[in-house]
Structure 1
Amino acid sequence: MNIRSSRKQVTFAHPFTLSGYADLLPAGNYDVLVEEELLQGLSFEAYRRTSTHMIVTGRAGRAEMRPITEKDLEAAIGRDQAAPQPGGAE
């Protein structure tokens, strides 16, 4: 089984929450790790996502890898982008 991993960074301008977690996370940059596996038996190369994790740094600098879904991540990003900007007109 061939696995590939990728990392991207997402930026939140406002404090936010993730589905399944009670705490409010501060605005800032967050690393997101994605793992995918190669689908076998196809005539072309294709991958299927097997996991998505967001790295959240907590108290005392302790990092936590929180499993999330792509749908929940996109929803959090959408809410952040829809929030009014400071000093902007509503």
Structure 2
Amino acid sequence: MTTRTTQTTVAFSSPFLLPGFDQPQPAGDYLVDHDEEAIEGPSHIAWLRVAAFIHLPAVGVRSTTRRMVPITPGDLDAALEKDRK
């Protein structure tokens, strides 16, 4: 099965908390990886998102440790929408 990972950057203007996080994260730009699997049809290929991960800490923050935390795209979208208000 064919898989791909795409990476985007999301921006938070205020601290945010996603389900599963033990503490709020500060405002900033964060990298998000989306893992997808190909679904091949007779005339086209579609991509199904199977996982998403946010990189902690934010882009540009100096840290001796970095980690990728699994998230759900819906939770991320809700947090970004809340941040915009």
TM-score (norm 1): 0.83
- Map 1:1-90 onto structure 2 (within 5 A): 1-40=1-40, 42-43=41-42, 44-57=44-57, 60-82=63-85
Higher strand fraction: Structure 1 or Structure 2? Answer: 2
Residue identity matched to 1:31: L
Give the C-alpha shift of residue 61 in structure 1. 3.1
**Structure 2 counterpart of 1:88:** none
Aligned residue pairs total 81
Residue identity matched to 1:81: R
The structure having more radius of gyration, on CA atoms, is 1
Q: Secondary structure at the match of 2:81?
A: helix
Name stretches of at least 5 consecutive residues in structure 1 with no aligned partner: 83-90
Distance 1:67 1:47 in 2: 19
Give the C-alpha shift of residue 50 in structure 1. 1.0
Q: Identity percentage over the alignment?
A: 33
Question: Per chain length, whose mean CA-contact separation is higher, i.e. which structure has more relative contact order (CA < 8 Å, sep 6+)?
Answer: 2
Name stretches of at least 5 consecutive residues in structure 2 with no aligned partner: none
Residue identity matched to 1:50: V
